[in-house]
């Protein structure tokens, strides 16, 4: 009866689908199965992995027994053929016979079966973090202590992600935020927040196993496990985690085998109420090169983004860093740094460190002039778009007025002059629309911005003093 195994399995799928409906479970666990043969009332089906087989046995054995019995009769049996990884180099998939009347599996050939980590096994699972040839190190969570919630500055730009992260740390695996995906452009604090969650979990639940790992490290360990023929041990090491933090998941793009192994680790942990935290430089919908089944799982929990911090948050970040280091700095210098570096917290802190180094090595007092000299050099070495905030700060410093005057309704001549200059340079130096410029310069409309730009251009042509003002400001913008 070899010829009709496809029909038999198709009938089985119809019965299973009647029980499960068009659910995600049916699509995930039954659509990938392929029938191979039918001999002596034994239907052999091929499943993608050992984990897949274990999952079917644990969750759907009752349904499978009833289905096989209905199609093949009381003597019908089911046999699994499991696809092994590429380390077998072309070997045929090994077979595990599973009678529908007995859940226990027996092997037809000797294979290195994965351990059941819930059993008390004497076999020690190798730790992929111990590099061959180097001295063995004590396993730790790889968490960086100073990346804590206490050192993480909360603002409107990151409040959702920070709040969700704290909730996860207080109750890992038990909230709706599983997985928790934190995404943002580089340098906005997603790695810091991921570490903070892990540290808080360790503080709250010392008995839990928490692991932070970069995706590049994960990929390299997987390659080594294939090379050393301990692929199953690699998987089981990660299955032992209570909280798994995987940083920069976007590096899995295009790596199908590594995605597959992470997919099974993800499912194993998630189904057992373990917490998964992922960071990425893109939202799930923008991740190219990722398998749809992984993307769908990333969407199961919460995806929270970190946005570019506003001026108040940037100032708070600098103040927090200085406070922790026990250093005092003039407020005008802090503000200048915050207005100068806008799109990257890492660059902002780097500018602060550079300024402190300049002061210490050259024995100079930290002043606004020293900050300007340092920023001029620092900005030349960093690619960034000049922001409207920065332009307003430079213009207001030049005319010796406070930045909040720009957004006020006052019609004093010096304020109007500064406001018009800020609008002029914002149009010239940024890609912002007229409406956006006007909104940040006192909720003015686009017509007011256009009028200001024309006024400045006319005065440059007709007023020598005014032309000097503009030329001096252009120097400050390195034009």
Question: Which pLDDT score, from 0 to 100, does residue 135 have?
Answer: 36
What is the average per-residue pLDDT within 24-36? 82
Give the model's confidence band at 116: pLDDT under 50 very low, under 70 low, under 90 confident, else very high: very low
Question: Which pLDDT score, from 0 to 100, does residue 142 have?
Answer: 85
Question: Which pLDDT score, from 0 to 100, does residue 106 have?
Answer: 35
Query: What is the tens place of the pLDDT at every residue in 45-63?
Result: 888 776 677 778 777 888 8
Mark whether 325 and 257 lie in a shared domain: no
Where residue 187 sits, what CATH number does that domain have? 3.40.50.300
Q: Which of 121-130, 243-252, 427-436 has the lowest mean pLDDT?
A: 121-130
Mark whether 229 and 163 lie in a shared domain: yes
Predicted confidence (pLDDT) at residue 65 exceeds the cutoff of 50: yes
Question: Which pLDDT score, from 0 to 100, does residue 183 have?
Answer: 92
Question: Which pLDDT score, from 0 to 100, does residue 114 have?
Answer: 34
With CA atoms as reference, report the closest residue to 186 among 346, 380, 390, 304. Answer: 346
Where residue 28 sits, what CATH number does that domain have? 3.30.300.180
Q: How many domains does the chain have?
A: 3
What is the average per-residue pLDDT within 115-121? 36
Strand partners, 43: 38, 78
Query: What is the tens place of the pLDDT at every residue in 263-297?
Result: 999 999 998 899 999 999 888 888 888 888 888 88
In a domain? residue 362 = yes
Question: Which pLDDT score, from 0 to 100, does residue 278 have?
Answer: 95
Predicted confidence (pLDDT) at residue 308 exceeds the cutoff of 60: yes
Mark whether 294 and 180 lie in a shared domain: yes
For the four alpha carbons of 187, 257, 288 and 174, in that order, the dihedral sign comes to negative
- Whether the full predicted model's pTM is greater than 0.75, yes or no, is no
* Most trustworthy range by pLDDT among 99-108, 113-122, 416-425: 416-425
With CA atoms as reference, report the closest residue to 250 among 278, 223, 274. Answer: 278
Q: Which of 66-75, 247-256, 335-344, 455-464 has the lowest mean pLDDT?
A: 335-344
For the four alpha carbons of 437, 439, 442 and 444, in that order, the dihedral sign comes to positive
Structure tokens at 448: 């007011």
Question: Which pLDDT score, from 0 to 100, does residue 113 have?
Answer: 31
Structure tokens at 372: 């300007």
Q: Sheet of 275-280: strands edge to edge?
A: 210-214, 243-247, 275-280, 180-183, 302-305
Which residues constitute the domain of residue 63? 2-107
What is the average per-residue pLDDT within 371-385? 62
Mark whether 301 and 318 lie in a shared domain: no
β-strand pairing of 243-247 with 275-280: parallel
Question: Which pLDDT score, from 0 to 100, does residue 363 have?
Answer: 80
């Amino acid at each position: 009866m070899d010829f009709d195994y496809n029909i038999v399995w198709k009938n089985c799928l119809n019965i299973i689908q009647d029980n499960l409906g068009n659910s995600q479970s049916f699509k995930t666990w039954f659509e990938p199965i392929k029938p191979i043969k039918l001999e002596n009332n034994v239907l052999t089906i091929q499943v993608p992995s050992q984990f897949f087989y274990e999952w079917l046995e644990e969750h759907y054995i009752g349904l499978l027994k009833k289905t096989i019995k209905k199609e093949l009769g009381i003597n019908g049996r089911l046999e699994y053929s499991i696809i092994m990884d590429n380390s077998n180099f072309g070997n045929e998939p090994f077979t595990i016979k599973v009678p529908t009347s007995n859940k226990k599996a027996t092997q037809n050939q000797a294979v290195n079966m994965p351990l059941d980590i819930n059993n008390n096994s004497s076999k020690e699972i190798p730790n992929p973090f111990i590099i061959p040839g180097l001295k063995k190190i004590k396993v730790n969570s790889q968490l960086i202590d100073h990346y804590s919630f206490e050192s993480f500055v909360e603002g409107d730009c990151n409040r959702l992600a920070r709040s969700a992260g704290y909730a996860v740390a207080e109750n890992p695996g038990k909230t709706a935020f599983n997985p928790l995906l934190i995404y943002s452009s580089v340098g906005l604090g997603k790695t810091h927040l991921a570490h903070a969650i892990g540290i808080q979990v360790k503080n709250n639940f010392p008995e839990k196993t928490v692991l932070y790992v970069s995706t590049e490290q994960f990929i390299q360990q997987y390659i080594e496990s294939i090379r050393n023929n301990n692929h199953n041990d690699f998987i089981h090491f990660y299955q032992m985690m209570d909280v798994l933090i995987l940083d920069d998941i976007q590096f899995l793009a295009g790596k199908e085998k590594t995605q597959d192994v992470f997919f099974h680790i993800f499912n194993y942990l998630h189904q057992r109420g373990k917490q998964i935290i992922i960071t990425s430089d893109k939202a799930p919908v923008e991740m190219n090169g990722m398998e749809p089944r992984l993307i769908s799982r990333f969407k199961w929990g919460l995806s929270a983004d970190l946005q570019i911090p506003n001026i108040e948050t940037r100032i708070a970040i600098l103040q927090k860093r200085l406070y922790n280091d026990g250093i005092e700095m003039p407020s005008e210098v802090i503000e200048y740094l915050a207005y100068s570096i806008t799109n990257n917290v890492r660059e902002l802190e780097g500018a602060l460190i550079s300024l402190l180094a300049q002061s210490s090595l050259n024995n100079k007092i930290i002043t606004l002039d020293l900050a300007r000299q340092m920023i001029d050099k620092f900005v030349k070495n960093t690619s960034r778009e000049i922001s409207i905030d920065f332009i307003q700060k430079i213009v207001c410093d030049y005319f010796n007025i406070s930045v909040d005057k720009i957004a006020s309704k006052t019609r004093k001549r010096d304020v109007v002059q500064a406001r018009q200059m800020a609008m002029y340079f914002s149009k010239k130096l940024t890609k912002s629309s007229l409406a956006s410029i006007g909104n940040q310069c006192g909720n003015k409309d686009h017509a007011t911005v256009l009028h200001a730009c024309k006024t400045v251009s006319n005065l440059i042509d007709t007023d020598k003093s005014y032309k000097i003002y503009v030329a001096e400001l252009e120097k400050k913008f390195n034009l």
